[in-house]
Amino acid sequence: MSTPLAERIRPKSLEDYISQQHLVGPNGALTTQLSSGVLSSMILWGPPGIGKTTLASIIANQSNRPFYTLSAVDSGVAAVREVINKAKKSDDLFSTKNPILFIDEIHRFSKSQQDSLLGAVEKGWVTLIGATTENPSFEVIPALLSRCQVYVLKPFTKEDLEALLQRAIEKDELLQQKKIELKETEALLRLSGGDGRKLLNILELVVISENSDAIVLTNEMVQKKVQKNTVLYDKAGEQHYDIISAFIKSIRGSDPNAAVYWLARMIEGGEDVKFIARRLVILASEDIGLANPTALVMANNTFQAVNTIGYPEARIILSQCTIYLATSAKSNAAYDAINKAQQLVKQTGDLSVPLSIRNAPTKLMKELGYGKDYEYAHNYEGNFTPHEFLPEEIKGTSLYKPGNNSRENKLKAYLKSLWNNKYGF
């Protein structure tokens, strides 16, 4: 069986495409573009196995456009230029249906490779569709990003994944030869990790390993089959998110030994140095924060350094930062504070800024009371006066709760001395 199940049942139209209704539903952004016949260049951003390649293929098929595809893993500038030259010679060049150039894993393209796309995208020689699992704000150069719409693909829900399984059983010619009953799906869903392609690979693995024509899929059966044949579906790169999760949780849990082990797993697996370093920067604020503000400085310097140095020496810098963060005091108070603040904004809407702290650049604004009664902190002893800075409707709301660590305990005492328990410090 040479063609994998995921490829055999790849949807050909939006009607067969499962999930992403915000993009492909009746009022979806992509549905509207396809109906109008005018497509903009775009970046499809989402987790692996969510259907980015399939969606690009459907867009090309339903818009009746020539479709060129490249993988950023094994394509250089020369390959990009070759495809662009082919696209320029296309019969559809001077129509509204210019060719589509699909680039998988566009986040792996270097700056020079991305630069080579700019002219073709700007002149309309191609409509670019890039697929990425990484935040395009970090991985796509600004000049190219400004010429593309970014569409976020959401992770599959349980219902989506079960629909994928059912569709495969009902539509695939080879699976139709057997009588398959989906009695339990939890093991299939858990082992796939939400990756649709991996889910179908596991389903096919289990089915072809059964001699019987009548197969009842249970959690126990799936688990046993997969354990015996792990190598058949556990391909390189599919543990990407599991290992970065283990890495982050080890640092958060203050275990430098485990953290360095998972770091080594990523390095040996060829993980992008920027991907690792960026996660360290995020963790430095999310999990350490004000317990040790130097952690963010260390992580940010690490990000800059490894981009300059590269592998193999970057591994030493990553190791130093990893151990520093793992052995640092921890606090998620800053992370909690912004989460609470955003939730409060969603609940209360656009509350008015108190008049006393509004800007008053004009005479009229001053006459209306803008800036009136504002108390300039530096005019008071200790550079502090207990002014009210929150909107009236939520005054006194406490969002920042200092963590229980040496530095934040000092912050707590300081804030308590200033505000006299107003915020519950």
Within 10 Å of residue 202's Cβ, how many Cβ atoms? 25
User: How much is the pLDDT for 229?
Assistant: 52
Q: What is the pLDDT of residue 124?
A: 83
Q: What is the CATH number of domain 158-233?
A: 1.10.8
Q: Which residues 6+ apart lie within 8 Å of 29 measured at CB?
A: 22, 23, 149, 151
Q: What is the pLDDT of residues 217-259, one digit of tens each?
A: 999 888 888 765 544 333 344 466 778 889 999 999 999 999 9
Instruction: Quickly state the pLDDT bin for 90 (edges 50, 70, 90).
Output: low
**Would you mind telling me the total number of residues written for the chain in this entry?**
425
Confirm if 80 and 167 have CB atoms less than 8 A apart.
no
Distances (CA, A) of 418 to 93, 290, 396, 397: 68, 19, 14, 16
Query: What are the residue ranges spanned by the domains of the chain?
Result: 20-152, 158-233, 240-326, 349-419
Asked if residue 211 has pLDDT above 60, the reply is yes
| Torsion sign (Cα): 262, 267, 269, 271 | positive
Q: What is the pLDDT of residues 277-322, one digit of tens each?
A: 999 999 999 999 999 999 999 999 999 999 898 888 999 999 999 9
Question: Do the first three CATH levels of 158-233 and 240-326 match, i.e. the same topology?
Answer: no
Mean pLDDT of 388-405: 88
The pLDDT assigned to 235 comes to 35
Better pLDDT: 376 or 234: 376
Euclidean distance between the first and final Cα of the chain, in Å?
Answer: 66
Cβ-contact 322, 249 below 8 angstroms: no
Q: State if pTM tops 0.75.
A: no
Tens of pLDDT, residues 331-368? 999 999 999 999 999 998 888 888 888 887 787 877 78
Q: Which helix (H) or strand (E) holds 49?
A: none
Give the Cα separation of 137 and 159 in Å (integer).
30
Q: Which CATH number fits domain 240-326: 3.20.130.10, 3.40.50.300, 1.20.272.10, 3.90.1150.10?
A: 1.20.272.10
State the pLDDT at residue 2: 65
Residue 87 pLDDT class (50, 70, 90 cuts): confident
Average pLDDT value for residue range 15-28: 88
Lowest mean pLDDT among 123-132, 180-189, 267-276: 267-276
What's the CA gap between 66 and 100, in Å, rounded?
6
pLDDT in tens, 95-133: 556 889 999 889 888 888 888 888 888 888 889 999 998
Q: What is the CATH number of domain 20-152?
A: 3.40.50.300
Pairing type for strands 100-104 and 67-71 reads parallel
Mean pLDDT in the chain? 86
Strand pairing report for 127-132 and 149-152: unpaired
Model pLDDT, residue 233 = 35
